[in-house]
């Protein structure tokens, strides 16, 4: 039995994921997002998605070796939820930056032009994304994303931790609309979270993602 486990461990093909470090301190996004909120969000919520994703992927490998297709199918919601949570938060942290490190302001260059082409103005885009984020019922995400089918920008929303890729578009800028993302700083007033978060958006990161997605 032990021998079997050791062999399986040595021959495991499962790639284990790690919680990425934040590119700024837990208190760096204050007063928009408090230190306590950021620390819990990263070191507890995101960490749990990573732990549970790794457990599910290791379970999947065991089931694959055992040829248990029914159990593999039953495992997929855990991979979707925890894998989506890991993917979404890994993008989200890099989408944000303290004002001192370039957070806030407006996009420039090709991204700015693409926003104007789709919405007419940066303010019109912000209004559209804010309205779509506000309309999410329960937990989910709003994304500014690149749609390969139109070669243009769009705003999509996803329930739970479904990653933006499930919409067929490429994520550029995400806004986490789970209560854990704003409640400690804004209580129930989602609208204020959506008003303030623009002042810590790392547009340089979003521009890089747009350049990668649209080339
Ligand atoms: Mn979250």
| pLDDT tens string 67-90 | 999 999 999 999 999 999 999 999
Q: Compute the distance from residue 215 Cα to the ligand 1 centre, in Å.
A: 29
Q: Compute the distance from residue 41 Cα to the ligand 1 centre, in Å.
A: 6
Q: Compute the distance from residue 92 Cα to the ligand 1 centre, in Å.
A: 9
User: What local confidence, expressed as pLDDT, does residue 27 receive?
Assistant: 98
- How far, rounded to the nearest angstrom, does the alpha carbon of residue 82 sit from its chain's CA centroid? 11
Nearest Cα residue to 110 out of 6, 214, 1, 2 = 214
Is the pLDDT confidence value at 103 over 90? yes
Nearest Cα residue to 140 out of 100, 174, 97, 103 = 174
Q: pLDDT-derived band of residue 14, with 50, 70 and 90 as boundaries?
A: confident
- Model pTM? 0.93
The third-level CATH classification (topology) of the domain covering 101-213 is minor pseudopilin epsh fold (3.55.40)
Q: Compute the distance from residue 97 Cα to the ligand 1 centre, in Å.
A: 16
Q: Compute the distance from residue 12 Cα to the ligand 1 centre, in Å.
A: 30
Phi, psi of 151 (to 5 degrees): 55, 35
Q: Compute the distance from residue 73 Cα to the ligand 1 centre, in Å.
A: 26
Q: What average pLDDT does this structure show over 100-129? A: 97
Q: pLDDT-derived band of residue 132, with 50, 70 and 90 as boundaries?
A: very high
Average pLDDT, the chain: 94
Tell me: domain 6-97, CATH 1.10.287.990, correct? Answer: yes
Q: Compute the distance from residue 149 Cα to the ligand 1 centre, in Å.
A: 29
> What helix, strand, coil percent values describe the chain, rounded to 5?
60, 10, 30
For the chain, the domains span 6-97, 101-213
Q: Compute the distance from residue 45 Cα to the ligand 1 centre, in Å.
A: 7
Q: pLDDT-derived band of residue 13, with 50, 70 and 90 as boundaries?
A: confident
Q: pLDDT-derived band of residue 11, with 50, 70 and 90 as boundaries?
A: low
Q: Compute the distance from residue 17 Cα to the ligand 1 centre, in Å.
A: 17
């Amino acid at each position: 039995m032990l021998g079997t486990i050791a062999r399986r461990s040595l021959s495991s093909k499962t790639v284990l994921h790690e919680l990425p470090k934040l590119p700024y301190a837990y208190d760096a996004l204050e007063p928009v997002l408090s230190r306590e909120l950021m620390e819990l969000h990263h070191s507890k919520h995101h960490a749990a998605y990573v732990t549970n994703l790794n457990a599910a992927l290791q379970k999947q490998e065991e089931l694959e070796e055992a040829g248990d297709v029914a159990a593999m199918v039953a495992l997929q919601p855990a991979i979707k939820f925890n894998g989506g949570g890991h993917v979404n938060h890994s993008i989200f942290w890099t989408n944000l930056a303290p004002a001192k490190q370039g957070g806030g302001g407006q996009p420039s260059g090709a991204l700015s032009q693409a926003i104007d082409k789709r919405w007419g103005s940066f303010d019109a885009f912000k209004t559209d994304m804010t309205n779509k984020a506000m309309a999410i019922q329960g937990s989910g995400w709003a994304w500014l994303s690149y749609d390969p089918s139109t070669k243009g920008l769009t705003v999509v929303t996803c329930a739970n931790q479904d990653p933006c890729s499930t919409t067929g578009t490429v994520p550029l800028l995400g806004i986490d609309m789970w209560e854990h993302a704003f409640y400690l700083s804004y209580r129930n007033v989602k609208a204020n979270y959506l008003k303030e978060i623009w002042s810590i958006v790392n547009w340089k990161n979003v521009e890089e993602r747009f350049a990668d997605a649209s080339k």
